[in-house]
Amino acid sequence: MSLTARLDAYLERHGLAAVWFARPNSFAWVTGGSNVVDRGGDIGVAAAGYDGDGVTVVTDGIEGPRLRAEELRDDVDVETYTWYETDLTSAVAEVSPLPAAADFEVAEFESVDASALRQPLTERQQQRYRTLSADVAEAVERVARRVDSTDTERAVAADLRGELAAAGIDSPVALVGSAERAQLYRHYTPQTEPLGEYALLSVTAGRDGLCTSCTRTVAFDPPNWLSERTAAAMCIEATALAATRAVGRAGGTASDVFEAIQRAYDAVGWDGEWRNHHQGGAAGYAGREWIGSPDSEASVVLPQGYAWNPTVGGAKSEDTHLVTADGIELLSGTGEWPTERVEAVGYDTAIPRHAVLKR
């Protein structure tokens, strides 16, 4: 279903005349452009509204000319207001037909869950996702190939962010885990610790609203258990992907996939290890549109991006894949990193996964 058809159905189902989006990922989903100036804010400098006839963007007179020229399609109407006379919320309320909904707080507007609307991905979005994900993987692997055991986590994270920024990619998550800290913490926010025996480089990075996650493991003088634990994580990730396809085809929920993940942890000898970290879930116009859990009722839809990220005692396997009814496509790959074909637990499926790069 196309984006406009999805929005038309939403308006009809809820008896609305318009729906508005000012959160950056949903603004990008509707317009293909960015409304971000202050990266620390939840709401951008413009809101995109759909009323059944087309898309209108409301912003102030400061941003209007730039958005028209650099961010928006020609068929998007732009309404501007004077920055010192009113604000975005009030301007949207004045322009919009009623009744209406929004993904930010507007008086007398209903609230909209944009995540459900953003799934599944359209063909055009899938192609943009392929390009973004390949660029992210290339940047991460380029950094991973040149790091040294004496580099600090912070220095490597800065390098990661710089490589991604050069490709026009934001990096809200850029984690670097040294050998010591990767064993202690699942979210290894960068510190001054040198990498040591091995390192995990993990990012969630985005462009044009879409978000890709991937992890690469690089080893210098690795402990004997690293390859074994990484292989276990790879097997669990492969199982999650195979289960996602099967559950999606059957119209199931995230909890159904999670059952397969739990069985896989048990099968590789790490029963209960899943409790130590979330396992990932659906991806697209958010790092995770939803995160899987034993009780999650989120629908597993196809075609959609999925980023599962199992961890096993200091090892991790994570990439973004496009899962369709017909197959599982790696998005965050370059073809230049060592891989191993891994059998999924409980499914007649083998999936190539990124292994440890030994330096």
Cα–Cα dist 342/349, whole Å = 8
User: Residue 301 in 3-state DSSP?
Assistant: coil
Pairing between strand 290-291 and 280-283? antiparallel
- Residue 187: which of 175, 179, 172 has the closest Cα? 175
d(CA 18, CA 47): 12
Output the CA angle 302-306-308, nearest 5 degrees: 140
Task: Flag whether pLDDT at 39 surpasses 90.
Answer: no
pLDDT at 309 over 90: yes
Question: What's the rounded Cα separation, in Å, for the pair 206 and 228?
Answer: 31
pLDDT in tens, 260-271: 999 999 999 999
Domain ranges of the chain: 3-117, 123-358
Residue 1 has pLDDT above 90, yes or no: no
DSSP secondary-structure letter at 315?
A: E
Strands 100-102 and 110-111: parallel
Q: Which residue has the higher pLDDT, 40 or 153?
A: 153
Contact criterion met (CB below 8 Å) for 138 and 130: no
CA distance 187 to 177: 8
Entry field: residues in the chain:
359
Q: Domain 123-358 class?
A: alpha beta
Answer with the residue of higher pLDDT: 39 or 6: 6
Residue 40, pLDDT > 90, answer: no
- φ, ψ of residue 251 to 5 degrees: the values are 75, 35
Strand partners, 79: 58
Give the confidence band of 6 by pLDDT, cuts at 50, 70, 90.
Answer: very high
Q: What is the pLDDT of residues 17-34, one digit of tens each?
A: 999 999 999 999 999 999
Please determine, looking at this structure, whether the domain spanning 3-117 carries the CATH number 3.40.50.1000.
no
